[in-house]
Structure 1
Amino acid sequence: MSHITHEHQGEGGPLGRVAVVVPTYNEADNLPELASRLFGLDLEDIRLYVVDDSSPDGTAEVARKLSDEYENRIEVISRSGKQGLGTAYTTGFARALSEEVDYVVQMDADLSHVPEEIPHMLGKLRRSDVAVGSRYTTGGGLDPEWSAKRRMLSGFGNHLIRSVTGVRVMDATSGFKVYRADALRSLDLSRIRCIGFGFQAEVAHYCQASGLEVVEHPITFMERTRGVSKMSVRIIAEAMWKLTLLRIRTF
């Protein structure tokens, strides 16, 4: 049985190679700022893996040009067409783990996840396997610009998914996670079935079922400032349908 801890104090990040995996679709406008902030962190060795699903806005080309600026520390994995968030992450994880990395970060490209939280989340891995950036643990929150209706829908949706899956982390749908590489390698990600929005909750469930030590780190989830959100009611409904199977399925 895994242990869920709700951590609230930042800690200095450990030394080691950090791989950041970011799925993209039409994020050309956000990548330059994301790269600048990631490589500006006080981390000894960090690389960015961009998994792009043939973005028509030229995201992959922007990423390649940025790699030239940042000493080839950005690798672009180009895929044919939109294949889903879940498969983008598993593809990126596999590529990152094929290298000698110590930690793997998953995050959005749209800057809704604040890169400056990464060193604090890495610090939590001194005594845990996975750190989850949590909007719903004490100290976490949502962008102040969000309406009361959107806040209510977000909170209710997360509560519903936690109830359906049995996931104990307060933010079951968080897409901001940091893993010890050996912990991530211990998971057989080929068994993940959700290729879209439900991927986050399914991975949280898998970590819990596998007995990994999981902690939550409070974050404030920011609204994207550029581009268009990919979220829709259809995506959420599909996730709920697939996630209902988790309660009766054993990894």
Structure 2
Amino acid sequence: MYRGKTIGVVVTAYNEESFVGEVIETVPAFVDRIYVVDDASPDGCWDVIQRVSARINDNATPERAVADGGESRRVVPIRHAENRGYGAAVKSGYERAVADGIDVVAVMNGDGQMDPEILDRIVDPVVAGEADYAKGNRLRNPGDRRGMSTFRFVGNALLTGLSKFSTGYWSISDPQNGYTAISSDAIEALDLGAVTDEYGFLNHLLTHLNVRGFRVADVPMRAVYGDEESSIRYVTFIRFVSTLLLRSFLWRLRVRYVRHEFHPAVLFYAAGSVGLLAGTAGFVGSVVEAARDGDGLTASMTAVLTLLVSTMSLAAAITMDAEENEALEVTYDERDSTPTGDRDRIER
């Protein structure tokens, strides 16, 4: 129990035999229940999970138990029969936690990259009712990203930019950060079956949260990397997530700005996108014409003007989109600061 709320932690694991045991053992004492989900690891991960869970459960006191039909385990091991993806592992933990009556559910990966000592900072916005979902952010403060390689930083920065379009949370950064917390009410309101099971889960979940009008908090945290090896295949991951973000962006516009209530931002997005494509094609055509006939000035000027107007249209769309979603964003300037701005909930 933490500040009057029951807290659960989902620990996701795939081929984390060397790290997952320590992650389970270092989960803070205020956490009522730990759901360790092994996504069909081919290594000895499941054996470690069972052994550590049994030891912790044997030493658990009755008052640490969550009321769920008399079960007194503090650690609940869950194993997928086949590998289903990171998102599926998180969903399995979410669903079990909601069934157990947990109020706030955090997620920590089994690779040891998430500092258990700051778990209270991650769950605080949700426990206090300031947000429905909270996530770590390693990019906001320069000092926090010192442990992040240039490759990781550039990749995260690019995904942050693309995710702003997709999710509608324009001041939220580091969308790939899996150190998160969510209220049970939000879990039950979301259609988890419509959220991808793959590693794009975190980005896709943010889009679904936005469409449902949930508030998201960005909590600064330090980047931590050790000797773990990522199971992500980056070329496949980037291709999959880029396509997912584009589909999510179009889906969000259709649901929020067309189906629910018409918003002019969708017109500016459409006009700007079409104009950019037409202007780019026109400019390329004018260059080809100039090279062939030596006369492409008029076409070039028309293309440049089209590109300029299209850029202005997209800028207007982004501005309107950001203003529409500002009430859903809770950001922190420093680790111990209070959230900035007026963050009233918008009607779902």
TM-score normalised per structure 2: 0.62
Counterpart of 2:329 in structure 1 is none
Percent identity over paired residues: 25
Residue identity matched to 1:183: A
Following superposition, the deviation at residue 141 of structure 1 comes to 2.8
1:47 maps onto 2:33 in alignment:
yes
Which residue in the other structure is 1:28 paired with? 17
On the 8 A contact 1:64/1:74 being kept in 2, the answer is no
Q: Do 2:9 and 2:35's aligned partners in 1 also have CA atoms closer than 8 Å? A: yes
User: In 1, distance between residues paired with 2:34 and 2:143?
Assistant: 26
Measured after TM superposition, the shift of residue 80 of structure 1 is 2.1
- Correspondence for 1:66: 52
Who wins on radius of gyration, i.e. which is larger? Answer: 2
What is the alpha-carbon distance in structure 2 between the residues aligned to residue 26 and residue 114 of structure 1?
A: 19
Q: How does 1:65-84 map to 2 (within 5 A)?
A: 65-71=51-57, 72-84=73-85
Q: Structure 2 CA distance, aligned partners of 1:234 and 1:175?
A: 19
RMSD: 2.0
Of Structure 1 and Structure 2, which has the larger fraction of its residues in helix? 2
Helix, strand or coil at the partner of 2:174? coil
1:235 aligns to what?
Answer: 237
Name the residue aligned to 1:4: none
8 Å Cα contact 1:105/1:178 also seen in 2: yes
* Residue in structure 2 matched with residue 3 of structure 1 by the alignment: none
Question: Which residue in 2 is equivalent to 1:213?
Answer: 215
**Residues 21 and 104 of structure 1 are in contact (CA less than 8 Å); yes or no, is this contact kept in structure 2?**
yes
Alignment deviations for residues 3-23 of structure 1 (CA, whole Å, 9 cap, x no partner) = xxxxxxxxxx52322111122
Which structure: greater strand fraction?
A: 1
The separation in 2 between residues aligned to 1:188 and 1:246, in whole angstroms, is 14
How far apart, in 1, do the equivalents of 2:111 and 2:166 lie? Answer: 28
Q: Name which structure has the greater RCO, CA cutoff 8 Å, separation 6+.
A: 1
Structure 1 Cα separation of the partners of residues 56 and 208 of structure 2: 35
**1:19-64 CA distances to partner (integer Å, 9 max, x unpaired)?**
11122111111112112210xx241x42211111221222112111
Contact conserved, 1:22 with 1:49, CA < 8 A, in 2?
yes
Deviation readout 1:60-110 (Å, 9 max, x if unpaired): 121111112212322111112211111121122111111011110122111
Map residues 169-184 of structure 1 onto 2, 5 A cutoff.
Answer: 169-184=172-187
Q: How much has 1:115 moved relative to structure 2?
A: 1.5
Secondary structure at 1:220 match in 2: coil
| Equivalence map 1:139-218=2 (5 Å) | 141-144=144-147, 146-168=148-170, 169-192=172-195, 194-218=196-220
Q: SS of the residue aligned with 2:26?
A: helix
Which TM-score applies when normalising by structure 1? Answer: 0.84
1:244 corresponding residue in structure 2 = 246
Query: What's the counterpart of residue 91 of structure 1?
Result: 92
Amino acid at match of 1:113: M
